Amino acid sequence: MKYNSRAFLLAACTAVALALAGGVASAQAVAQTDQVIVGKTITRNEAVAALVPPKFNGALRFVVAVPYHPWMYFDDNKQLTGIEVDVARTVAAKMGVDITFINVKFDGAIPSLQAGQADVIAAGMGDTLEREKVLNFINYRTLGNVVVVPASDQSINDLVDLCGKTVTRQSGDVFAMFIDKVQPRCQSIGKPEIAIKTLPDSNAALLAIKSGAADAQVVNLSAAESLIRAEENVDLFRIVRPAHSPRGWRLSNGGLGVLKSEMELAKAIEAALKAAKADGTLQAIADHYGNPSIVIDEVGINTPTSGEL
């Protein structure tokens, strides 16, 4: 069955209202297997479908954390879109299963799986050894951390330039740990530590910089590029990154996550993502959202990286 945009639009509008009210929003998509992704029709792959555990009864619930550009957000027509959304839809189509999106705060993504409210995390989450204690990650992307600063501020050009500054990050993300790695450098050069301001989402983090309540935001490269390309942010910000690594500091892999107890589901998702890489769908999605360099060389389960600063 083809994608029913009218029904999905109604579900997405409901999700927006619930999300703004602070609750858990469930965007209930109509029964659909075939999906049109960035102009390509994605259909059931029989070899992949055969791997899907019967317990899911032909349907999967994916957790998202809206808004987090470019991974997941509502467009001007109130339709849920973004890199991870399209990847999730691609996976579901190749598996031949129906898909439901559930919108939660980022730090509620893992608990939603543990509570049995969802099956797969598709929230722009990075693969870390700590998270692997709970989840199996099926990685399809790799990227690094960068710093977003006001275009008018030329004082920040490296990580040590953040010493004594106020830096924002999103609740539940991994960037506080990244900043902790920089703090000893501040001490070694006799500068004050970086002050961390934790905010509920990436939009709030960026607003703090706009208002002057913070000096910079640490975020992954794809999110940074999406933020500064937004119409309302044109010419307001610039990206600071290392000269030796255009994708940022501390490169890491990321992808979709399922509970440790669901290894068979992880293998089915891995097969779907490998098929999507082989037929060019993953690259087409990355290109469509202006992030052509994020596609990993080899899709795999639990392949984190922890590159040097």
What pLDDT score does 184 carry?
A: 95
pLDDT over 70 (residue 26): no
Who has greater pLDDT, 28 or 128? 128
Contacting residues for 177 by C-beta, under 8 A, at least 6 apart: none
Q: How far is CA 3 from CA 8, 65, 90, 190, 275, in A?
A: 8, 22, 12, 58, 21
250 CB neighbour count, 10 Å cutoff: 21
Rounded CA-CA distance 291/309 in Å is 22
**pLDDT tens-digit profile of 97-128?**
999 999 999 999 999 999 999 999 999 999 98
Query: Region 91-95: what's the mean pLDDT?
Result: 97
Token pair in block for residue 211: 């208002």
pLDDT over 60 (residue 13): no
Token pair in block for residue 57: 């009864």
pLDDT over 50 (residue 55): yes
Query: Region 277-299: what's the mean pLDDT?
Result: 93
Query: Region 239-245: what's the mean pLDDT?
Result: 89
Prediction pTM value:
0.72
Residue 106 and residue 170 in contact, taking contact as beta carbons nearer than 8 Å: yes
Alpha helix (H) residue ranges in 212-290: 221-229, 263-278, 281-288
**pLDDT tens-digit profile of 243-254?**
888 788 988 899
pLDDT over 90 (residue 171): no
Count how many residues are written for the chain: 309
pLDDT band at residue 17 using 50, 70 and 90 as cut-offs: very low
pLDDT band at residue 307 using 50, 70 and 90 as cut-offs: low
**pLDDT tens-digit profile of 206-230?**
899 999 999 999 988 888 888 888 8
Rounded CA-CA distance 11/24 in Å is 13
What pLDDT score does 306 carry?
A: 59
What pLDDT score does 143 carry?
A: 87
pLDDT over 80 (residue 27): no
What pLDDT score does 309 carry?
A: 57
